[in-house]
Chain A
Amino acid sequence: MNNEPFEPRIVAFFCNWCTYTAADLAGVSRLKYAPNTRVIRVMCSGRIDPQFILTALAKGADGVLIGGCHPNDCHYAEGNYKMLRRFQLLKRLLQDFGVEESRVRLEWISAAEGDKVKSVINEMTEQLRALGPLGMPAKFAAWDQEVEELQHQVDEASETEAAHA
């Protein structure tokens, strides 16, 4: 990290018909936004498995952004509602894990809202900069080490016990 300011990494899942197209529109309109987001295209926000979000966080993302069509506008009628339901459950789970609420965000962005892509990404990047890294890979490594040490202690204890016996 050194003196360089912290730059969060955001994994975004955008639906093909609304939000991905809106991000294309932002490009065509030459809107400028923070380069911290990496977009993964899915056909519908309904395709987004909660595991995708958890995996992204586990593998080093500092935040996850989900973009879908506005309610009533889904290209597949209701995939966005299915995503919303999962999102509500997942949010509670993440809270219990101690993952801050603003790290995972769901936004409805229509194909015409290129400027919303810009403002959401900029806003989320700002929030995550202030929040700092999530650092799950490092935490996993620390936990693994902790468990290893505990195991070591247990092994040692049982060895001494065996020697005494």
Chain B
Amino acid sequence: MKDEPEIRIGFYVCHCGTNIAAMIDCQAVARYAAQLPFVAVSRDYKYMCSDPGQELIQRDIKEHALNRIVVASCSPLLHEHTFRNATEKGGLNPYFFHMVNLREHNSWVHSDGSKATAKAFAQIRAAIARVPHHKALEVLQVPIHPDVLVVGGGIAGIHAALTLANAGKKVYLVEREPTIGGHMAKFDKTFPTLDCAACILTPKMSQVKSHPKITLWSFSEVVKLDGYVGNYQITVKHKPRYVNEDLCVGCLECIPACVFKTPKFPDEFNQNLGKRKPVYIPFPQATPQVVLIDPEVCLNLKTGKCKQTCVEACGDRQAIDFDQRETFDDIKVGNVIVATGFKTFDAHRIPQYGYGAFPNVFTSLEVERMINTSGPTSGAIVGRDGKHPDTVGFILCVGSRDEKTNKWCSRTCCMHSMKLAQLIKEHCPRTEVYIFYMDIRAPGKGAEEFYDKSLRMGIRFIRGRVAEVTDWAVTPEEEGRLVVRCEDTMAGFVRRIPFDMIVLAIGKEPQADAQDVRRLFNMSCGTEGFFLERHPKLAPVSTFTDGIFIAGACQGPKDIPDTVAQAGAAAAEAMVLIDQGHIEIEPNTAHISEVDCSGCKSCLPLCPYTAIAFIETTKKASINAALCKGCGTCVAACPSGSITQNLFEDDEIFSEIAGVLAYE
């Protein structure tokens, strides 16, 4: 300690335009800092993060022989890296820098200038008391494993996987359903161009299957994730399909051969509108093109008593395997892209709209399947009573923009409903179609024109939130039909309009197990339950965990173009790490002073990463820096005070405490 040069602190307070300066008297802050111990230079500047701001630090380090830097500006989560770089460029170890959060934690949240300035004094006093204790630290470099795991095989996962694979990266794509394709595979046409969803999606699906760089694991789930950025160890569970994927050729001969002569069981892919057999393929272009057997309804798997006509039909291929069990694969990857998508709103939750009570109330996704030529009605719009409707009413924002259910906008239900309305009009031009809306949200390329086209096609738009759907007829015309009661806020009175079919444009929600997935991948969720991005504007596909990226509707409701754009962005972010080859890790790890350690073993059970080992020969504990993630829990618990955490040393924190309280 005695040999160390005298501490010379450079202090800089940033105006951030007026973001800080409008609330905090920055000049007073600079004057206050100037008379604090060890401060050699104290300045205020308009934008510290700008190039001239950073150069100011670098110049001062040389001219004033500074050896500690404090910048009071925004959150360290935003610009700590910027100023550490500037410190390093000035010739100092970057960890001689400390940051004070005057913007997010002060000027933006307070409204009394003198109190905000007083708080700023306390904040900077803490930092100036802290930095003399800072030590030069070495950055840890860890290599990045070049393989990537993509979780979820919807359009987001497919696009991300293909982008990476085309760039030559090895990708594992894990999908929990028997086929990839996600929600997009269920759509008939896509707005606003009305191109067929299957025509643009299925080629990408087969590319995934045939790509030499992609390992596709359908009907599989990630069950475990260990490690850290660049070095994740992952366990994937493969659920039994009772069909050997390597042997099945997708001839589908087993399906007609099944002892159930007609399909009897609800077909999930078709929103339970159609029926399937125990042995089935979700839809004709399913990828992989491999059948599966539903153990809940298969006679052989349930009772063991079946003629096994499917096995007979399979013949020499011997793909059917009733003894199949769960299997597991352990893989190593450097990055993970989570693209687990969304869940549609359960329309039963709004009983006044009659879903489940009235047979001819449908959800938009059900109509989507109905209108699809490969769907359960081969493209015909028919009610559950078997009749073609003459009048169809769409109710928008079901489970969206609603205090009682979900506050957020689904972002697609306006456009999606207009698309279905146009398709119904195309299929059967004399059908009367009404759309009940609160606002029509048609932003984006070609969307407003699409709305215009809907109007020109004669689709009627009624502005007002629907109160209820009822079968209680008050006029002979309403008899046997579904009546929508709604205030027409344009006309200014309450209307009753009878329909043959009602379509509920259901909103988007986080997946039911989003919380489990979040914990598995060490991510955060927003209040609504969608995965939280690192920054809403500047890091939209990154998470707070390095090497874990998000794409698509698992981050928030979005349409196909935005989903694909995000998937590409996530793939690019992963490639940045892969092509760098290594990542620098914050050196905030803990270490044990062997001299002071009493060998009490208190710390051993506290470490969640088993980074602490007890060395039997010396009877002392020791921390493996490569495993330590820098939480500091062991440091707080060590009774002899022999554990130190870099950047969060006891002395540093005690000086901060004294510092924040030194100013009255």
Chain A interfacial positions (CB closer than 8 Å to B): 9, 11, 16-18, 20-21, 23-24, 26-28, 30-33, 35, 38-44, 46-52, 55-56, 59-61, 72-73, 75-79, 82, 86, 110-113, 118
Q: Are B631 and A110 interface neighbours, CB within 8 A?
A: no
7 smallest A-B Cβ distances: which pairs?
A: A27-B104, A47-B632, A46-B633, A76-B631, A38-B660, A77-B608, A44-B631
Chain B hits for A27, CB < 8 A: 75, 103-105, 108-109
Contact with A along B449-481 (1 / 0, CB 8 A): 000000000000000000000000000000000
Q: Are A47 and B105 interface neighbours, CB within 8 A?
A: no
Q: Are A56 and B105 interface neighbours, CB within 8 A?
A: no
Q: Are A49 and B658 interface neighbours, CB within 8 A?
A: no
Chain B hits for A35, CB < 8 A: 106, 109-110, 112, 115-116, 118-119
Expressed in whole angstroms, the minimum distance between the Cβ of B652 and any Cβ of chain A is 10
The contact of B77 among A20, A59, A79, by CB within 8 Å, is A20
Q: Are A110 and B524 interface neighbours, CB within 8 A?
A: yes
Expressed in whole angstroms, the minimum distance between the Cβ of A8 and any Cβ of chain B is 12
Q: Are A56 and B661 interface neighbours, CB within 8 A?
A: yes
Chain A hits for B653, CB < 8 A: 40, 42, 49, 52
- 9 extra interface residue pairs, beta carbon distance < 8 Å, beyond A28-B104, A76-B629, A111-B544: A11-B660, A21-B524, A28-B108, A38-B661, A41-B76, A47-B648, A52-B657, A61-B657, A77-B608
CA distance A30 to B635 in the complex (A): 35
Expressed in whole angstroms, the minimum distance between the Cβ of B336 and any Cβ of chain A is 16
Chain A hits for B609, CB < 8 A: 77
The contact of B631 among A26, A46, A50, A86, by CB within 8 Å, is A46
Chain A hits for B22, CB < 8 A: none
Chain B hits for A11, CB < 8 A: 657, 660-661
Q: Are B657 and A43 interface neighbours, CB within 8 A?
A: no
Expressed in whole angstroms, the minimum distance between the Cβ of A24 and any Cβ of chain B is 4
Are A32 and B109 also in contact (CB < 8 A) when A42-B648, A46-B636 are? Answer: yes
CA distance A9 to B661 in the complex (A): 8
CA distance A27 to B519 in the complex (A): 26
CA distance A13 to B545 in the complex (A): 21
Q: Is B656 an interface residue (CB 8 A)?
A: yes
Chain B hits for A16, CB < 8 A: 77
Expressed in whole angstroms, the minimum distance between the Cβ of A47 and any Cβ of chain B is 3
Q: Is B526 an interface residue (CB 8 A)?
A: yes
Chain B hits for A43, CB < 8 A: 588, 630-632, 645, 648
Q: Are A113 and B527 interface neighbours, CB within 8 A?
A: yes
Are A47 and B635 also in contact (CB < 8 A) when A17-B544, A111-B524 are? Answer: yes
Size of B's binding interface in residues, CB under 8 A: 51
**Segment 307-358 of B: residues with Cβ below 8 Å from A:** none
Expressed in whole angstroms, the minimum distance between the Cβ of B128 and any Cβ of chain A is 14
CA distance A26 to B103 in the complex (A): 11
Interface centre among B77, B111, B522, B657 (most CB of A within 10 A): B657
Identity of the chain B residue whose Cβ is nearest the Cβ of A64 in the assembled complex: B657
Expressed in whole angstroms, the minimum distance between the Cβ of A61 and any Cβ of chain B is 6
Q: Are B660 and A72 interface neighbours, CB within 8 A?
A: no
CA distance A49 to B660 in the complex (A): 17
Expressed in whole angstroms, the minimum distance between the Cβ of B105 and any Cβ of chain A is 6
CA distance A75 to B112 in the complex (A): 35
Identity of the chain A residue whose Cβ is nearest the Cβ of B527 in the assembled complex: A112
Q: Is B294 an interface residue (CB 8 A)?
A: no
Q: Are B105 and A24 interface neighbours, CB within 8 A?
A: yes
Q: Is B32 an interface residue (CB 8 A)?
A: no
CA distance A1 to B119 in the complex (A): 18
Q: Are B654 and A38 interface neighbours, CB within 8 A?
A: no
Q: Are A38 and B119 interface neighbours, CB within 8 A?
A: yes
Contact with A along B621-660 (1 / 0, CB 8 A): 0000000011111011100000001001010011011101
Interface centre among A43, A46, A47, A82 (most CB of B within 10 A): A47
A-B contact pairs, 7 of them (CB 8 A): A11-B661, A16-B77, A21-B544, A30-B109, A75-B522, A75-B545, A76-B631
CA distance A57 to B116 in the complex (A): 22
Chain A hits for B524, CB < 8 A: 17-18, 21, 73, 110-112
Chain A hits for B660, CB < 8 A: 9, 11, 38, 40
Expressed in whole angstroms, the minimum distance between the Cβ of A92 and any Cβ of chain B is 18
The contact of B633 among A40, A47, A59, A113, by CB within 8 Å, is A47
Q: Is B21 an interface residue (CB 8 A)?
A: no
Identity of the chain A residue whose Cβ is nearest the Cβ of B116 in the assembled complex: A35
Q: Is B101 an interface residue (CB 8 A)?
A: yes
Chain B hits for A86, CB < 8 A: 636-637
Expressed in whole angstroms, the minimum distance between the Cβ of A70 and any Cβ of chain B is 10
Q: Are B104 and A40 interface neighbours, CB within 8 A?
A: no
Are A78 and B105 also in contact (CB < 8 A) when A9-B661, A35-B116, A43-B648 are? Answer: no
The contact of B661 among A44, A60, A112, by CB within 8 Å, is A60
Are A48 and B101 also in contact (CB < 8 A) when A41-B76, A111-B544 are? Answer: no
Q: Is B123 an interface residue (CB 8 A)?
A: yes
Chain B hits for A48, CB < 8 A: 636
Chain A hits for B635, CB < 8 A: 47, 49
Are A30 and B608 also in contact (CB < 8 A) when A46-B633, A49-B650, A75-B544 are? Answer: no
